[in-house]
Amino acid sequence: MTDYDVLRVLCAANGGYGNGLGVVRNGSLMPAREDRQEFAAELGFGETVFVDDPERGEIDIHTPTRRLPFAGHPCVGTAWLLDVPELVTPAGTVGVRPDGEFTWIEARPEWAPPLTLRRYATAAEADALPVPPPGERSETGAPDGVRGRIYAWTWEDEATGAAALPLTAELGRALNIRQGMGSRILTAPQPEGWGGGDRRKSDPGTPSRVGAALSPGARERPARRRG
């Protein structure tokens, strides 16, 4: 049997909404990549995480169809579940910082999957846009000079983290993103570098920080599959 945890990540303040995530804590029991891919497809979540080393935070992320070097909401959820200071992904080391009801991760915008960023003059102009063709992931935004906010539109899952990284880097400011029906994502650029250690500060690039509210109800009971 393969045990896995089911999380709801990037939730609203009441623990609702968010994006489902499967986490196999003992990934060493399923080392073959093809077996992991089959299991991720069977579970059907947007992403499933296999933990290869829980102490080091080494993880492997799969969608139902492919392996990912990095993904936002899987890293946020797994960081909260494992309670580790960092996660090790094929893309690089992801910083982790718990902050009360929030769990923050620090990652580079270029680790996010390719997407298209476009600016429009008004919210109404962006609101009238058609859904992009299959395979094109888009983020669009329009400034609101009255409230000092940025309105953004996305064609994604209910709540995603990776797409928020390049958007934060492009705008150069902290964002409070309410996505889908009610999910919430907080982001902030990190102009001082990674922080928290000389090794990270010496790395090139400017990471962005993504945070999420994870209430106690965000974690559901483990499920099992007969092996």
For 136, phi then psi, to 5°, come to -100, 120
**The pLDDT of residue 145 is above 90:** no
**The pLDDT of residue 223 is above 70:** no
**The pLDDT of residue 144 is above 70:** no
- The token duo for 191 is 């102009």
CB 158 within 8 A of CB 179: yes
More confident residue, 146 or 178: 178
- CATH second-level architecture of 1-227? Roll (3.10)
When mean pLDDT is compared across 158-162, 169-173, 179-183, the lowest value belongs to 158-162
Q: Where are the domains of the chain?
A: 1-227
**The pLDDT of residue 161 is above 80:** no
**The pLDDT of residue 146 is above 50:** no
Collect contacts of 147-156 with beta carbons under 8 A, ≥24 apart: 150/175, 151/123, 151/126, 152/177, 153/126, 153/127, 153/129, 154/179, 155/131
Per residue in 45-90, pLDDT (tens digit) is 989 999 999 999 999 999 999 999 999 889 989 999 999 999 999 9
CB 78 within 8 A of CB 49: yes
Distance, in Å, from the CA atom of 108 to the CA atom of 92, rounded to the nearest integer, reads: 9
When mean pLDDT is compared across 14-28, 31-45, 110-124, the lowest value belongs to 110-124
Share of the chain above pLDDT 70, in %: 70
Distance, in Å, from the CA atom of 154 to the CA atom of 54, rounded to the nearest integer, reads: 33
Give the per-residue pLDDT at 33. 96
**Over residues 121-129, mean pLDDT:** 76
More confident residue, 72 or 136: 72
